[in-house]
Every structure is written in structure tokens, then in C-alpha cells.
Structure 1
Amino acid sequence: MSLKWTVAENASWCDLVCGGQFRARAWTSPTRTRAYYPDAVTLTRDATAADVLPYIDDSAGCSVKDSFATLDLPGFSVLFEATWLACGPGVPEPGWRRVTGHDFPLDASVAVLSHGENQVVAHRGDGVAGLSNFSGAPQAWPGAVAAVAAAFPGVPVVGYEHGDTLRHALDHGARPLGPLRVWVR
């Protein structure tokens, strides 16, 4: 599993939801993105502040997903650190279903999946299916992974997590691919 594919899928998801521009080392949005989405995502290990900051609204509230945890962003602080994951294989759990009626773009590359109070968004990228926006009990992680895999069969499931959900994901077969940081001003 390639970290490069994982990062590219995540950036393409941000682009689908928020719009923006792909540059050589970063995806950036010149206007503030919607809540809980970064204003930039680095695409390479060698990305620098100069590849990001001139292309975003870096006023208070701005956030940058440092996909390789290598940036130095003056005036920013780390909001959280997480781990990119190759997820799987998951544990099938009856009851996960596709839902509609969300306020972000839904096309054939996106599936919103729900099981009771647990919810996850799946996005089919190039060669992988991204698991994002997971909400619910950490114990629901294996079922969410299996639901994403069922929504987009034949490709690996990837994503990132931190805290209790990260520990639970690792306990259920997820493999760490590398660190990331989210910076905020």
C-alpha cells in the first residue's frame, strides 16, 4: 500500500468537497474551506511553507494538513497528530447502509454509510477507497472499514485516525503508513 496514493485520495476528497487547485507539492484553496476541512494538503515530503502559504487565506482559523509531518509553519500550532492507515480487512457487520441528504457533493465516487449512531464517508480515489469523517464508537471501526470495502470492492481501504480510534483500528488489522499533522492558525 502506498502512502502516496493515500495522500492523493485525501487531497482529491478535499478538492471534491471544497474546490481548490493542485500544485506540484500541495493542494490549496484560495478561499476558506468549509468547517473541518483543511485549506491545504501537502502532497510530497519535500513541501515547504512556501508551497502552501502564498496560495491560501492564512488568517485566523486557517488549517493545513501536513501529510508527512515535515512542515515548519511559522505562526501556526499543531491541532492534532495522526497516523495514515492501510485499513483492513474490517469485520462485516449487518446493518451498515448508504444514506442520502448530505450537504456535500455526492457522485459515483462517494458513499455515505451509516449504522445506528455510527457514520463514515467513503471516497473512491485512484487505486484506493478513502475512509473519512468517521463518527461513532471506536468499536464500530471494523464494521466501518468493511462497509467502505463493500461500497468500493477490489481496492484497498485507507484513511487516518488518532486517539482511541487509532488504537482500535490498529488492534483490528490496520497498518500504519506514516504520520501526519494538522496545523491551525
Structure 2
Amino acid sequence: MRDSHAALTLVPGADWAALVARIDTAAPGASVKDSFADLDLTAAGFQVLFEAKWIHRPASPPAAASNLDWRVAGNPDTLRAWALAWDNGDGNADLFRPALLHDPATSLLAGQSADGRVVAGAVASRSDHVVGISNVFALDGGPDAAWPVVLDAVNRLFPSLPVVGYEQGDDLVAAIRHGFAPVGKLRIWLYGS
């Protein structure tokens, strides 16, 4: 029985045939996060959606200050404002559902302008050992405007935890400017299309 439309490799050299056998490729968006960029899934009908680099930053305050205040989105209205700012008109704001507000390991970090509008942010996913950062955005100034407020929030919320994530292209270059080091490759595969 195929039990999921997505998979994630946790060790290098995963058995790609066994992995694909567990994925429901009939579901739209069937995908694999190849955490070590060492699989070739083309024979199984997958195509590379994108490649990126894992990044790591030791626990520490941001090197650059932000002129934005921040808070954790804690109610449906703030979540919606965060999602709309993240989406910036692309039509995907509904991906972030109110159930996220009840997940103790997930924090939506909202950088706010002087008038209280959400203009930057990220998703922080905390484990016992690291804080994973994803969906970094800023409406003006791109990741260079977002990283200082995001790193300030992470440092205040989880001061002893290093920060990890993945980025590509100009976003990777910006993350490196803000103290991250690339530590490995990953690849996202999408079925069909």
C-alpha cells in the first residue's frame, strides 16, 4: 500500500526503488526531498524541481540590526496577515492553516513595520538540537532585509540553538552574508509534469 504522496531521505544512499514504492504518485504533487542529492529518480518518472544547499549558522545574535519589530504570529488574524505578506499576491496564502498556531514546535516569525503591517518573516521549526528556518521573505529588500529580524527573533526565542535550513541562488548568497555556511546539497524531485 502506498501511504504518502511525499518522502524524505534521512540517510545517504537510500534504496530509491523501495522509497518510490511507498509514494502515491497518483496524488498531485508527489515528491521526494533527496536530503543528500544522491538519488536519480528519473527512471521512476520524477523530475528535479530544484537543487539547493543545506545551511548552518551557530547560535548567536545577528550581525546586522533590523529596523523592524517582530512577534510570533499567535492568532488567526496575524497568521493570515503573515501568509498574505509571504504570498505577495501569488495565490498561495491558504497553504498556512490555523492548525500551525497550535504546533508547539512551529513559530511563524512576523517582522512588522512601524504601522504594524507584516513586511518580513519566516517559519521557525524547533527541535531539541536546532531551529530550522524556511519561507524567509521580506516585501522590500529581499532576504537581506528579512534575515536580521528573523535571526534576532530566533536568538531571543532559542538562544542556545544553531539555525539550519536550505537556500539556493541569490537567497543562498544572502544567507551566507548573514553568517550561514553551506554544509551539503539537497534535491527536490517532483513526479511527472
TM-score w.r.t. the length of structure 1 is 0.73
1:25-174 pair list within 5 angstroms: 30-32=3-5, 39-59=6-26, 61-73=29-41, 74=43, 75-87=45-57, 89=60, 90=62, 91-93=64-66, 94-100=68-74, 101=76, 102=79, 103=97, 104-105=99-100, 106-115=102-111, 116-136=118-138, 137-139=142-144, 140-174=146-180
CA contact (8 A) 1:149 1:157 kept: no
- Segments of structure 1 that go 5 or more residues without pairing to the other structure are 1-28, 33-38
Local SS of the residue matching 1:71: coil
Instruction: Give 1 or 2 for the bigger CA radius of gyration.
Output: 2
User: Share of identical aligned residues, percent?
Assistant: 42
Q: Amino acid of the residue matched to residue 177 of structure 1?
A: V
Please name the residue that 2:91 is paired with. Answer: none
Local SS of the residue matching 1:117: strand
CA contact (8 A) 1:81 1:180 kept: yes
The CA distance in 2 between the partners of 1:50 and 1:92, in whole Å, is 48
How far off its partner does 1:128 sit?
Answer: 0.6
Q: 1:95 to 1:41 in 2, by over 3 A?
A: same
CA contact (8 A) 1:40 1:56 kept: yes
The CA distance in 2 between the partners of 1:112 and 1:179, in whole Å, is 26
CA contact (8 A) 2:36 2:185 kept: yes
Q: How many residues get paired?
A: 151
| 1:95-150: CA deviation from partner (whole Å, max 9, x where unpaired) | 12111324143332221111132121111113111111222222122331232232
Tell me which moved more, 117-126 or 98-107.
98-107
How far off its partner does 1:92 sit?
Answer: 4.6
The CA distance in 2 between the partners of 1:181 and 1:44, in whole Å, is 14
- Segments of structure 2 that go 5 or more residues without pairing to the other structure are 80-96, 112-117
CA contact (8 A) 1:131 1:158 kept: yes
